[in-house]
Structure 1
């Protein structure tokens, strides 16, 4: 695992996969690395970079793949710049973004983002929305939400994904009101009772697909890898269970557990010769 600046030092035969420090990105990219290396004997270098840099790097051939393309809406700004210079390998799993509150916050007080325009309600949340890294599509959409819902008095705070969940955890432990930028899949929805605030102006869009994006020519250089990603699919239940396992143990242990307990699905991903299991829920 390196930063993007380390790409120039990568070995020629290494497959370079971009990732970012989001809960689902960590799990999915590590699983891809382990499976590609163990089944195809193909060395993999995971390269951490901001999401916008990843799109540009795949388009320029500095990265072979990125696994966090939220389409069609969240990352549309990035996608429009590179869509004719990359290859979409398809959806790996589904997701949603928006603003999230603990379920103990009364729905009759706040059920929609628009309710935050009431100064009394906004004050109950300390006039802040806890966000994540500023380059993310979620934060860009959150900036648009401030304008769309006339929430100029609210402060959108940038931080890491881990910092966001730490703020959420402290607020819940203290039974305080808090609103955070959130997304599914994420382990926090399995650990806490949370809900998305309604978004009547559809600033955040609806359900989206998280896609694998490849550089041009990767299908010729690494046909097995490209075929793998066209078959690599996870249900909401599978990924949620793995993310919670990762939070309770470690990303490494959670990925190893999933691989060990879902051999039939793994075999299908890697060689395409077996039927996908009808029951797509994760095994314990």
Structure 2
């Protein structure tokens, strides 16, 4: 994932104690950034300032965010991008201290947030589907093709499934129901780390041709860059695939029909998103918007189709 993108913006969301209790226990990235108390909270009717929230490390969302930052600035908007943890993101959108989040995984992965805060938000549309959570191994691991196949092979993988941020939806679902449903809870340790640490461990294992099993999701650039195999989930423990959706503060589309209309037209295929993510990876930290600008120039006809 795209890591350590920029200095965290610290700002405080006004949440109730109950909301904070829920948000700290639900699926989140582990980032602790908050929203500035002094930021301009109200979008206003037809505002020419757009506040986009994103979670650093979740590449599809980072890529979409900087893509739209460049598109909107080209259209004369001032765009404020805010790097938050997932809990603060949903709270901020609900409380109108941020306008739009482009990486909402619904209805499954971010279900807890949506159930609590959805009445204060609206969906602007789906820009990618299907989006699935999974366990993944390198393709050279020949004897494991389903999650069932992990049973009895813990020694081969060092007794570990390499995870990501402890509070993420992916980790929540892997802990339960995935591991219990497949009888793996006592055999494997689900390690908590970060997305970047997981990807580093995956690349190191591939370099050394060692077996490894990791928590991962699609869309992700790793499937383009590395030779990987998603383990089939015959018990459907991860549930049906999600849709990657855009959510905004309630009433945003009515107050800002131009931006909302453009976003409703926004769609990417797996190959289009993969090329965008890899370009951001190639350009490196701090150059996300430059990468987005280059991608827009190379895909002008597609981008123009969203702006009708």
TM-score category (smaller protein): 0.7 to 0.9
Q: Give me the whole-angstrom Cα distance separating, in 2, the residues matched to 1:156 and 1:257.
A: 39
Q: Give me the whole-angstrom Cα distance separating, in 1, the residues matched to 2:37 and 2:74.
A: 24
Classify 1:7/1:218 alpha carbon distance in 2 versus 1 (closer, same or farther; 3 Å).
farther
Question: Per-residue displacement from partner, 1:238-273 (whole Å, max 9, x unpaired)?
Answer: 001111222233333431221111112222222x1x
1:78 pairs with 2:113: yes
* Structure 1: gaps spanning 5 or more residues: 273-284
Q: Give me the whole-angstrom Cα distance separating, in 1, the residues matched to 2:77 and 2:248.
A: 16
Q: Give me the whole-angstrom Cα distance separating, in 1, the residues matched to 2:103 and 2:10.
A: 16
Conservation of the 8 A alpha-carbon contact between 1:68 and 1:210: yes
1:81 match: secondary structure: helix
1:139 pairs with 2:171: yes
Aligned match for 2:69, one of 33, 36, 43: 33
RMSD: 1.8
Tell me the number of residue pairs that the alignment of Structure 1 and Structure 2 aligns.
266
Q: Give me the whole-angstrom Cα distance separating, in 1, the residues matched to 2:246 and 2:126.
A: 7
TM-score by length of 1: 0.87
Conservation of the 8 A alpha-carbon contact between 1:96 and 1:206: yes
Aligned match for 1:149, one of 182, 186, 203: 182
1:275 aligned residue? none
Q: Give me the whole-angstrom Cα distance separating, in 2, the residues matched to 1:87 and 1:60.
A: 12
Question: Per-residue displacement from partner, 1:193-228 (whole Å, max 9, x unpaired)?
Answer: 111111122121243210000101212332211112
1:101 match: secondary structure: strand
Aligned match for 1:190, one of 224, 237, 259: 224
1:60 pairs with 2:95: yes
Aligned match for 1:262, one of 288, 294, 299: 299
Superposed counterparts of 1:88-167, under 5 Å: 88-94=123-129, 95-106=131-142, 109-118=143-152, 121-144=153-176, 145-152=178-185, 153-167=187-201
Classify 1:57/1:234 alpha carbon distance in 2 versus 1 (closer, same or farther; 3 Å).
same
TM-score by length of 2: 0.81
Q: Give me the whole-angstrom Cα distance separating, in 2, the residues matched to 1:68 and 1:180.
A: 21
1:205 match: secondary structure: coil
Q: Give me the whole-angstrom Cα distance separating, in 1, the residues matched to 2:294 and 2:193.
A: 30
Q: Give me the whole-angstrom Cα distance separating, in 2, the residues matched to 1:67 and 1:157.
A: 28
2:261 aligned residue? 227
Q: Which has the higher helix share?
A: 1
2:16 aligned residue? none
